[in-house]
Amino acid sequence: MREDFLHYIWKFQKFEKRNLKTVSGERIEIVEVGQHNHDAGPDFFNAKIILGAQLWAGNVELHLKSSDWYAHGHETDKNYDNVVLHVVWQYNLPIFRKDETEIPTLELNSIIDAQALTNYEKLFSKTKKWIYCESDFFSVDDFVFQNWLDRLYIERLEEKSKVIQQLLNTSSNHWEGVLFKMLAKNFGLKINADAFLSIANSIDFSIVQKQSKAPQKLEALLMGQAGLLNLDVEDAYLQTLQEEYRYLRHKYALSVKGILPVSFFRLRPVNFPTLRLAQLAALYAQKEQLFSKVIAIDSMTDAYTLFNINTSDYWDRHYNFGSASKPRKKTLSKAFINLIIINTILPLRFCYEKSLGEVYSENIIKFISTLPIEHNAIVKKYGQLRIFPKSALNSQALLQLKKHYCLPHKCLQCAIGNEILNKK
């Protein structure tokens, strides 16, 4: 038995309410269960309870055992002075306020809804599972399922916007500069995301803007800060970049303190940090006022056009310095642009619209719903449990579901878990 199950039972009134009485025999009528509190303090605020003939307005606290009141130190915490009802699974000790009056207690174990308890025990059975609800995941109503995924996607945007807001706070709300940092982070993909962000953080964006007229200088700036020019190989282009970087490092008093090392390990050549930084440099060399352009993107056609860039001729024949390869234009693939839209552009737009006083834009939901689903082990596993529309909105939502609900076993705070528990 878990305490959050008691929260569920109380919140949704999954117990026999006729002839409801406290452990001392006093009649109870629940007018309002109160507002569920997920932070410190009593579990439910502003409940309304009739005890005997008296209406009480105050807070409700829930515990597995009534003695947990003292085990948790509530008797000395003023936040619990206004508790009007103590709801417990098992009553084993009377509880008193500071003024020595007893707090009325409701015991649930003998009045709980039998089906709810059965569903709970089945859901949290000890059988080893990928997720607790995998045997019932397919049976959840489509409308409930999709509404929950929509909500999870917004929750994921909120989470990503915290990173953006932190960058804004440290850059005097310089949206163009924050876009550069977020693009750098996501050009690094999962392996080099933190390293690329540390590179972007090491350079004032005004320097990037000044060098954007000269693609080679911008490449030298980014790769020099990344430590990718510290090579001793016979390569004329490398030597040119080394010379450019020495000049820029001295001119702008650049520091490499705090920059994380980039990695080539287990990366396909198209994702080598050398090539990705060259593409980032090319983007800023070929596209001006990028922030206004990405905010104005209205379709994937717009996105593919905006991110249609070409690197210098050198990178047509190289993935790394000193090692020639078969000639090939190193444009950004549609799959890569999709990831940039998902992980940079839409979260940034969400944060920007919030700064303008908009809660969220329906256009963001519509936009990401048109993107193809992401392919990874988590999304694949959910796809084996039920059929759902194959969109990037749903893959993002499922990643949020797995990380924040399934892994920490927060089934009782999940719409899918609640639907399963409510089965008749």
pLDDT tens figures, 209-253:
999 988 899 999 999 999 999 999 999 999 999 999 999 999 999
Angle (nearest 5°) at CA 37 between 125 and 71: 70
pLDDT band at 101 (very low <50, low <70, confident <90, very high): confident
pLDDT tens-digit series, residues 377-404: 999 999 999 999 999 999 999 999 999 9
Please give the Cα distance from 82 to 49 (Å, whole number).
Answer: 13
Share of the chain above pLDDT 90, in %: 82
127: CB partners within 8 A, 6+ apart: none
E strands in 294-353: 318-320, 323-324
Q: What's the mean per-residue pLDDT of the chain?
A: 94
pLDDT of residue 360: 67
In sequence order, the β-bridge partners of residue 40 are none
Query: Which residue blocks in 137-235 are alpha helix, DSSP H?
Result: 142-169, 175-187, 189-201, 205-211, 215-226
Q: Answer yes or no: is pLDDT of 408 > 80.
A: yes
In sequence order, the β-bridge partners of residue 278 are none
pLDDT tens-digit series, residues 131-167: 999 999 999 999 999 999 999 999 999 999 999 999 9
Helices and strands (DSSP H and E) totals, the chain: 19, 8
pLDDT of residue 225: 98
Q: What is the mean pLDDT of residues 396-421?
A: 94
DSSP assignment, residue 406?
I
Please give the Cα distance from 156 to 398 (Å, whole number).
Answer: 10
Residue 209's SS3 state is: helix
54: CB partners within 8 A, 6+ apart: none
Angle (nearest 5°) at CA 75 between 73 and 78: 100
pLDDT of residue 123: 87
E strands in 16-111: 28-32, 35-36, 44-51, 54-65, 83-90, 105-107
In sequence order, the β-bridge partners of residue 318 are 324
Tokens of 10: 């109380």
Burial class (CB in 10 A: 0-12, 13-18, 19+), 51: middle
Number of neighbouring beta carbons within 10 Å of residue 358: 10
Chain Cα centroid distance, residue 154: 9
* Amino acid occupying residue 295: I
Please give the Cα distance from 238 to 99 (Å, whole number).
Answer: 79
